Structure 1
Amino acid sequence: MQRRLYFTLPDAGSARAVLDELLLARISIRHIHFLARQAMAAELPTLGLLARTDIVHGAQLGAAIGAVIGLACAIGLAFYPIAGWTAGTFTILLLMLGGALLGSWASAMNAAAVPNTRLRRFAAALAQGRVLLILDLPAARVDDIEAMLAQRHPAASFGGMEPPALAFP
């Protein structure tokens, strides 16, 4: 099971040094991400669009709201048929699915412009020019990597750990 750890680093130079240390500790580069307000060197792996923005949360919220609106339209169609249309079970499910898809798409497009709400607590540090390090580690390696970073990079401050995600949401 993976754990997501957050650390703030003073600058891009220390981020490069931490990256080297993590690679030597056999952490895969695909599990290491950096986020900074200023442009970073090309060799530092940056955070992707899905993790940097609130697209996933927006799509989930839009799907739920869209499904409820689709259900409300189907119930309205069942009680007040339009030109002989009747809302059977298939029609209700189709309207709910259509509402969920439309709501998910529209909400995800809006959420693409919103920063990730999970990263909001690091906004002040990023505004000061610090670099955010995000690590996805196996649970067995968390203590080792935390101790290594605390010993070799005392300027890196621990920003917390996300609770584990469910395997089947």
Structure 2
Amino acid sequence: MSPTPIPAVTLLPSAPGGETLSIAEILGRGALAIASYAALGVILLIIGFYVIDMAIPGKLSRLIKEDRNPNATLLACSGLAALGLIVAASIWSSGGALHEGLLATLVFGLVGIAVQTVAMIAFDKVAGVSVRELVKEPDLQPGARLLAVTHLAIGLITAVAVV
């Protein structure tokens, strides 16, 4: 007794007209989506960097590259990592809808930048942890660690809210 052949099932998605897409078309669309999200992510990270730069005295890139300021470096790293979490969650929640996903990623990324900025101002006013004073110190300060964790927590909270 020979086995009964199983009918072939196509695993390739269909285009809106119902025709099956080729593997080249699938890969091309995927590559375009990756490039689009990556470009938007880089733009949001640059915006985030400059918002952090505006919140501190001096030029952030100089403080990091030339002065090797650990407080400025930690705050910039944590802010950008938090923003990366938000962007990644926005992409994850897009469900494959490229245009809507890019728009949502842009909006949620800008909201994340705004929330982090408000948090820095709030910590300055409420807890007395001033970013401006922290970056004047040559040694890593406990307040910089606190703000860095706050950045990451806000990024994670925002990312989970997106999903």
TM-score over 0.5 (shorter chain): no
Structure with higher RCO (Cα < 8 A, 6+ apart): 1
TM-score, structure 2 as length reference: 0.32
Structure that is richer in strand per residue: 1
Structure that is richer in helix per residue: 2
